[in-house]
Amino acid sequence: MTGASTDLAFSRGLWLTPEAIAWPSCALPEDVDPGSLDWVLHTATDGRIDLSRREPYPWANVPLTVRPAGLPEAIVAGRPYLRSAIGLDVPEVSDLLGVLAGQVVVTAQHRSGRLVEASGVQMAPLLDALYPDAVHATLGADWADGAPTVRVWAPTARAVDLLLWPVGLSLEDSPERRRMHRAPDGTWDVRGDRSWRGARYQYAVTVYAPTFDRVVENRVTDPYSVALTVNSTHSVLVDLGDADLRPQQWERTPSPPLAHPVDQVAYELHVRDFSKADKTVPDELRGTFAAFACDSQGTRHLRALAEAGLTSVQLLPISDYSSVDEERAARLRDDLAALKAAPPDSDEQQRRLAAARDGYNWGYDPWHYQVPEGSLCVRAADSARERVREVRAMVGALHGLGLRVVLDVVFNHTVSEGQATTSVLGRIVPGYYHRRDVSGAVALSTCCPNVATEHAMAQKLMVDSVVHWARHYRVDGFRFDLMGHHSRDNMLAVRAGLDALTVARDGVDGRAITLWGEGWDFGEVAGNARFVQATQGQLAGTQISTFADRLRDAVRGGAPFDEDPRVQGFVTGLAGEPNEAPVNGDADAQREQLLRDTDLIQVGLAGHLKDFSFTSAFTRRGARGDEVPYKAGTFAGYATEPDEAIAYVDAHDNETLFDALTLKLPVRVPMDERVRANTLALALATFSQNPVMWHAGTDFLRSKSLDRNSYDSGDWFNYLDFSLTDNGFAAGLPPAADNADKWEYMRPLLADPALKPRPRHMKRAHRMALDLLRIRSSTRLFRLGDAEQIRRKLSFPVSGSWAQQPGVIVMVIDDALGEPVDDRFGAVAVAVNANPWPVRQVVFALVGPAWSLHPVQRDGADAVVKAARADDGVLAVPGRTAAVFVRPRIS
């Protein structure tokens, strides 16, 4: 053949059923009619198809026919991106299963023999169709009577052996090799005996590998591993039901109950951050799961938050990841003396850390989904079983503090694909688990190889792994990274898997487990191109929440990836404290943006409901939540119920709240006022009708020295000090990779000593944050939990009126309307003043019965708010304050 490229590393074709292949029409020149070409399916058991060779070919060739009407509706339903695809009819292929175990290529050429198109073929949909029963298989090690049966799904493998290193046999020695037996569902299994307990193992999978274009034997760990050797080189046979793996506190301490999902307030925390800087934790336990079981400054801090109203700790990924060496001795320690000696605006700190690599990572590079990460363990190098015991002890300790445990899970991508060492899935079933773009390349829109959870066995791995953590570790919730890259059906499958868990059978009530995630819409799946996505506004009725960026951006100003980070928002200066940056426009532009942000926040306070009606501050006309513009054709309101959105103002991603305030507020604003702005921003999330998330340390002004992406910035920039002595600001310029383009803005700020808070500022911020939790937890009206109740009870009486002052929001929640829910208060009025000066706001709706300051604020840590008054329809509110007024219940 001659003509087009014969690079077969890409797989543009999609083999959907035994009779049909789809081909992207964009792969052909616009002036070429697909029906005028000769389409051929080439198959070679051992690979080595070389299209530069002359005919006759030494491999099988099957002519294909173009379907003039395209693919059948039954095939493209649910796959919108295939509607314009070329449909190819496939005649009956002898030994189809054998064909799928080798190389498969499709070519299209002119009658003259000139090649127009050639590519490999994706076979995942066909494998799903041919092996439907595989989704019911129990994969990994299944224990019965003290002996395991080990099973792996490898439908395209020629053979699979289990390589076994029994206890006492060194990993340097040759393993025992046990033949595994193939089942009709594409799985392979072997039955062991009691002597296998504690043995190390790998699979030896003989399979055609497209990466190498030949048949290879891949020695690979088990994707369903529950225990691993250090650095994840071998799986380990461990029965999670063993008595010595069940710490007493974990066994006996029940999960704290949650009456309704909107009651949840979560504290997002990295396991290593929690204790790495805590001198009250024994040195050998710092940065590990075990630190949560210590009586330390960190656990005392969590206890105080829990007593005030925090319900949950959300942990960044704790399942096995590839980026950190699990041999603690092999990890370099930071040269703290040199780091501390460098100036606060120097690039020396980040340069030293980049060279050292101290073993820090957030963990969004998943390797094995059902095993705890060894670098967070005290004794991972000594015993694979310790990973299990230490995580269970941590969960038990957190339950003992009155806190639920939510895990951040990453199923949208893997760290690698193909034949890479860390590509477990790709070396067992090559080409199956990863999604490809229209060019036929593995999609990388998540910044790593994207997992195609629309494929049955990829969804199964996702569901089985979530159920595994719920059943075997008794965690209480899951946060899904880039959830919009999963389908709504994926998430409903997860929900169904959890709902099937019962206390009697599994030790956990799966229906009480909460789910939320990042519902962002981007990449090759955007706009429901591949399936109905699990994105904002598409999870109605599921009780699955998405993070609401609307309130976040309105409070902070701008968006996470602004070229100029000084774009101001409602709390960061649009209300009376301009920073003079040209990016904010003139006074008229600033006033307009302030009113738009006011609307976004008001809809956020009302639970981001799409059908919540109010008078817009910007247009001064009636509007629904789904009519208030946000950005790029989206709107402020998208939820049908308040438990479908999460209110927050900062997270592990992007700058901390304190750092955003530092970048956006004028330098002249004193630290006492910055503390107030921090508390005000938190109040706008905490007083929302949605569930709430706080980033760890946001309650005491945590800084990452302006780092916008600290995923591998080391302990230095991720510093978390529960002694409330040092907030982490002015630790040097943050790492260049993600921040160098903003260094010009950062240098003068980091060099200014007035911008670093003293311990008294951190302690005051913390005490004021505790009061926010106390108000929310003690006042049912902030947690109505029902859209109809919100529509009846909640209003913004001055919004859009002549009386509304810029930078002021008044929210009233009246329990006399609709069914009463609060046994303490008849109504609540929240008066938010983002201006730096005090205001007197007329609110005609509050004329009448006496209103008083909420008891928590009346007796609380903030001396300034105590000056707030409600006097017959006039609210006097100090600057940068969210004052909460209450009206007694009338019997």
Q: How far is CA 707 from CA 364, 578, 715, 722, 746, in A?
A: 18, 23, 13, 20, 10
| 481 in active site | yes
423's CB contacts (< 8 A; 6+ apart) are 414, 416, 417
Residues 130 and 339: their CA atoms lie apart, in Å, by 59
Residue 334 designated active-site: no
The runs of H, that is alpha helices, within 527-580 are: 549-556
Among candidate residues 222, 326, 386, 518, the one labeled active-site is 518
Q: Which residues touch 703 (CB under 8 Å, ≥6 apart)?
A: 656, 658, 659, 662, 727, 728, 729, 731
Separation CA 460–CA 621 (nearest Å): 49
Q: Do 237 and 201 contact (CB within 8 A), yes or no?
A: yes
Distances (CA, A) of 140 to 165, 318, 631: 17, 20, 45
Q: What share of the chain is helix, strand, coil (3-state, %, to 5)?
A: 35, 20, 45
State the chain's maximal CA–CA distance in angstroms: 95
Q: Tell the residue number behind the tokens 């002004």, with chain if given.
A: 701
Which among 694, 534, 549, 556 has a CA at the least distance from the CA of 636? 549
269 and 315 Cβ atoms separated by less than 8 Å: yes
Rounded CA separation 199/195 (Å): 8
SS3 568: coil
Q: Is the dihedral of CA 5, 8, 13, 15 positive or negative?
A: positive
- CB neighbours of residue 685 within 10 Å: 27
DSSP assignment letter at 200: E
d(CA 96, CA 18): 8
User: In what helix (H) or strand (E) does residue 142 lie, and over which residues does it extend?
Assistant: strand 140-144
Of 481, 643, 707, 862, the catalytic one is 481
DSSP 8-state assignment for residue 247: -
Question: How do beta strands 544-547 and 514-517 pair?
Answer: parallel
3-state secondary structure of 480: strand
Question: How many CB atoms neighbour CB 348 within 10 A?
Answer: 14
Token digits for 652?
């592990």
The DSSP H or E segment spanning 304 is helix 297-308
- In sequence order, the 6+-apart residues with CB closer than 8 A to the CB of 314 are 266, 267, 268, 269, 406, 407, 408, 477, 479, 693
Q: Give the three-class secondary structure for 123.
A: coil
Q: Tell me which amino acid residue 777 is.
A: S
Closest CA to 514 of 498, 503, 538: 498
Cα–Cα dist 638/540, whole Å:
9
d(CA 540, CA 645): 10
Report how far residue 458's alpha carbon sits from residue 135's, in angstroms, rounded to the nearest whole number.
10
Instruction: Say whether 354 sits in a helix, a strand or coil.
Output: helix
Active site amino acids: 481, 518
